[in-house]
Structure 1
Amino acid sequence: MRKYLLAAATALSLTTAAHAADSVRMSVGSYNLNNLPFPVAESLGFYKEEGLDVTTENFAQGGSKVLQALVAGSTDVAVGFYDHTIQMQSQGKHVVGFVQLARNSGLVLAGKNDTDFDPAKPETIKGKNVGITSPGSSSDFFIRYYLKQHGLTDNDISIIGVGSGAAAVAALQQGKIDLLVNYDPAATIVVERGLGKILIDARSDEGAKAVYGGIYPTSVLYASQDYINEHPEVIQKVTNATVKALHWMKDHSAEEIVAQLPDDFVSGDKQTYIKAVENAKAIFSQDGRFTPADLEVPLAVLRSFNESVGKATIDLNTTYTNKFVEAAGHSAEN
């Protein structure tokens, strides 16, 4: 009897272990809308359906903090911007994007209604306090690239980290900054509340081409190459769930998307947030795939002002992989 009980307990233990969820730590730089497919996948239970136990950390200061956490080994998967993979390669670190969430910038430059900055006269930006999400973030790259393109330097302005969402809007409203480089929902909130106006808009393909000279991929899921090599099954499950969320978002309205989000995710009033999601829908990837030609754009932007990237030989083919997305697509078809 004792042997039978021991054997039964062992079998139960093995069965439980076989069905135990895979743990994965995922960190997000901010809840700006470029990263929206991640909380959508989480809220709809897609990660759980894949057998994942996800621990989430939100670094509201911006994507550069998430990158630091990934490099330090305190997170497994980052929800951050593609250009960080290029940045890391120039420093001898191998970080790889494996799902594209946002195929375009989503950034705007906003100012108060009475601002005297005129994008047609770039020199009028001199002396301004410009708010970004955080130093080393893509909003930081945006403003530095703008200055470089027009023969100006970062000494001509003051660049100040103000976070995203409500905190970024408050910084503009309170006069702590003169101009704001940020994403939705902040961009839409500024306009809807009458606090200011959009002066440069890179949310559309046309706007991105005017600012960067092409489409500028932004939010992705990325991990170190070592983690991907050691945990391919976890990466595949994360990819399956995230691609499922992208497909779901494509087939649902902004109102339906917002209805799935927890209340603490929604910045400002719900109706304004719904408008922000509607404004941002065009930037989202529909299938999670990377388009190689588009990746040349962030490389060109970084090379223009980032000394380490400018000096490095960058192999874009090693900054991303479509392998897991393609496998997720085959799985969905079968």
Structure 2
Amino acid sequence: MRKYLLAATALCALAASANAESVRMSVGSYNLNNLPFPVAASLGYYKDEGLDVTTENFAQGGSKVLQALVAGSTDVAVGFYDHTIQMQSQNKHVVGFVMLARNSGLVLAGTNDTDFDPAKPETIKGKKVGITSPGSSSDFFIRYYLKQHNLSEDDISIIGVGSGAAAVAALQQGKIDLLVNYDPAATIVVERGLGKILIDARSDQGAKDVYGGIYPTSVLYATQEYIDANPEVVQKVTNATVRALHWMKAHSAEEIVEKLPDDFVSGDKQTYIKAVEAAKAIFSEDGKFVPGDLETPLMVLKSFNDAVAKATIDLNTTYTNTFVEATASKPAQ
């Protein structure tokens, strides 16, 4: 009898797998702003929703994911909200449907002997500044900093170095003088004694100091066409991701890291746990977009992006809370 039960269980599992809905999800990097996505996957929440998720990691940064989405080679992007504004200025309709990180998470770090002093912005002149990739939010960060202080992009060299260990190595090896990046890179730089954080936008106050307001970053977004054609899939993706946000809120950094695959963890485990602890404040608790906060990335992009500055941007069409609100009405799992 046990043999027949095992066989029946296996057949049920195969049937469930066969009936799973496929969705391609791409992530710009495994920086911690995107952490709710791998947490949801590791906890099996997408599978629980009957989804067969194919994941691609573009380590170069979120701009590569955006290109894949627009080209139709991925269905859902784990990327940054400001890209939805950028796309609207190009007459392309990309819509955020789950907020993952409600605040920036970005820092500007330098070597211990750097002579760059944020109180004297002109001291950045001549520096090689590492970002994740051209067109990414880290790129926007440094361009906005220059604009704020009447400096030119020609005053520095902007170099794409990726994120995580690759970004840290670029600073350590002297390929760059300054690094604009996220956790875990930010915490690794400090914990290993490789450098210091000079501008920190991880806290709400830090973001307000840098941008003048809260700067939402990581979201799940898709084209309006995909959302219209696949509302049930988008709802299931939302259900799983919001469930992960609730789980993260209720668990410690150490418990979160324990659920991640080993190849996701950059550097040594204890440093990574510290990085997750430092980043916990940036995560959304419910996945909802806060309309007032969306004004900040629009203002930043307008300051240096001519296409955005000249376009009439309707922020109401860059996001939807419809799917998150439907998730909130479901019984707790």
Normalised TM-score (structure 2) = 0.95
3-state SS of 2:22 partner: strand
Match of 1:203 in 2: 202
Determine the C-alpha separation between the residues in 2 that align with 1:147 and 1:188.
Answer: 24
3-state SS of 2:208 partner: helix
Match of 2:48 in 1: 49
Match of 2:143 in 1: 144
Match of 1:66 in 2: 65
Match of 2:86 in 1: 87
Match of 1:226 in 2: 225
Q: Does 1:182 align with 2:181?
A: yes
Unaligned runs of at least 5 residues, structure 1: 1-11
**Aligned-residue RMSD, C-alpha:** 1.4
Match of 2:77 in 1: 78
3-state SS of 2:313 partner: coil
Q: Does 1:267 align with 2:266?
A: yes
Determine the C-alpha separation between the residues in 1 that align with 2:17 and 2:157.
Answer: 55
Query: Is the Cα contact below 8 Å between 2:17 and 2:52 reproduced in 1?
Result: no
Determine the C-alpha separation between the residues in 2 that align with 1:322 and 1:243.
Answer: 12
Amino acid at match of 2:161: V
Match of 2:104 in 1: 105
Q: Which structure 2 residues correspond to residues 152-171 of structure 1 after superposition, within 5 A?
A: 152-171=151-170
- Post-superposition Cα deviations, 1:183-208, rounded to whole Å, max 9, x if no partner, equal 00000000000000000000000000
Determine the C-alpha separation between the residues in 1 that align with 2:31 and 2:16.
Answer: 37
3-state SS of 1:39 partner: helix
Amino acid at match of 1:195: L
Amino acid at match of 1:46: Y
3-state SS of 2:331 partner: helix
Query: Is the Cα contact below 8 Å between 2:23 and 2:53 reproduced in 1?
Result: yes
3-state SS of 2:104 partner: coil
Query: Is the Cα contact below 8 Å between 2:33 and 2:218 reproduced in 1?
Result: yes
How far off is 1:18 after superposition? 11
Determine the C-alpha separation between the residues in 2 that align with 1:153 and 1:218.
Answer: 25
3-state SS of 1:331 partner: coil
Match of 2:309 in 1: 310
3-state SS of 1:84 partner: helix
Amino acid at match of 2:285: Q
How far off is 1:153 after superposition? 1.2
Determine the C-alpha separation between the residues in 1 that align with 2:114 and 2:186.
Answer: 16
Taking a change above 3 Å as real, the CA distance of residues 308 and 48 of structure 1, as seen in their structure-2 partners, is same
Taking a change above 3 Å as real, the CA distance of residues 211 and 22 of structure 1, as seen in their structure-2 partners, is same
Unaligned runs of at least 5 residues, structure 2: 1-10
How far off is 1:332 after superposition? 3.3
How far off is 1:131 after superposition? 0.1
Amino acid at match of 2:291: P
Determine the C-alpha separation between the residues in 1 that align with 2:123 and 2:298.
Answer: 28
Match of 1:4 in 2: none
Amino acid at match of 2:186: A
Normalised TM-score (structure 1) = 0.95
Determine the C-alpha separation between the residues in 2 that align with 1:82 and 1:89.
Answer: 12
Determine the C-alpha separation between the residues in 1 that align with 2:232 and 2:297.
Answer: 29
How many residues were matched structurally? 321
Taking a change above 3 Å as real, the CA distance of residues 230 and 173 of structure 1, as seen in their structure-2 partners, is same
How far off is 1:19 after superposition? 6.9
Determine the C-alpha separation between the residues in 1 that align with 2:175 and 2:44.
Answer: 39
Determine the C-alpha separation between the residues in 2 that align with 1:51 and 1:120.
Answer: 53
3-state SS of 1:282 partner: helix
Query: Is the Cα contact below 8 Å between 2:16 and 2:50 reproduced in 1?
Result: no
| Percent identity (aligned) | 85
Task: List structure 1 segments (4+ residues) > 2 angstroms apart after TM superposition.
Answer: 15-19
